Amino acid sequence: MSKEGEFFIYLLERYADFKKEKASEILKLWDRTDLTNLIYDLYDIYHVERLENAFEDIDKLVEEKLRTT
């Protein structure tokens, strides 16, 4: 598995813990809001900063998508 893939799984699991949700439910949310690929592609940014920064960014992305749908 690629380093991006490994980090994506790590980020998904940590974000799910942060949100007190199952990782499968978070992934469904990301898929439903069409954010999964974007979050995966943000590896270059997310893997070098604090996870909490990534969580805040993901929260904003999800909120924006939910508002516009």
Q: Output DSSP code: residue 21.
A: S
| Domain parsing of the chain, residue ranges | 3-68
Binned at pLDDT 50, 70 and 90, residue 69 comes out as confident
Exposure on the CB side of residue 50, measured as CA atoms within 13 A: 3
Q: pLDDT digit string (tens) for 11-59? A: 999 999 999 999 999 999 999 999 999 999 999 999 999 999 999 999 9
Beta carbons within 10 angstroms of residue 54's beta carbon: 19
Cα(14)–Cα(54) distance, integer angstroms: 10
pTM exceeds 0.85: yes
